[in-house]
Amino acid sequence: MPDLLLVLFLFNFSLFLLHEMDAIRCSEWRLFIILKDMEDSKAYKVFTFIHLFLYVLILSLLFSQYQTIIFWVLDLFFIIHAILHLFFERHPRNEFKNSFSRSIIYPIGVLSVIHLVLLINIST
């Protein structure tokens, strides 16, 4: 079962990476408090550059002794992230209002719940 957990997590993490690629297309930085007031060309660079450090941190922890902790942290983050996207559906600057974007965002939350349930069942 642990291999299944890792594969499920990696599939979900890959969906998240796809979402982040889509987020650049949709100018997601326009939804963030600090970045929304920046000029688009600068906000795009800051938004993109921040992800480099996030990805290195996540991948480093994922293949370390802290794997279970990163599973928990990211699963919870992915669930909250999907819920936030749901709440921001009507935001005027939200450009994720299409079936392609939604078919990436919401399965991330659902798969995270499934992953957490499996993680809990293995732990007990």
The pLDDT tens digits of the residues spanning 11-51 come to: 999 999 999 999 999 999 999 999 999 999 999 999 999 99
Main-chain phi, psi angles of 65, to 5 degrees: -70, -10
Residue 54 structure tokens: 């996030």
Taking the C-alpha atoms of residue 78 and residue 112, their distance in angstroms, rounded to an integer, is 7
**pLDDT score recorded for residue 1:** 58
- Whether the per-residue pLDDT at 2 is higher than 80: the answer is no
pLDDT band at residue 112 under the 50/70/90 scheme: very high
pTM of the complete model beyond 0.95 = no
Q: Do the beta carbons of residue 41 and residue 47 sit within 8 Å?
A: no
pLDDT tens profile 44-103: 999 999 999 999 999 999 999 999 999 999 999 999 999 999 999 999 899 999 999 999
First to last CA, the chain: 13
Taking the C-alpha atoms of residue 16 and residue 101, their distance in angstroms, rounded to an integer, is 11
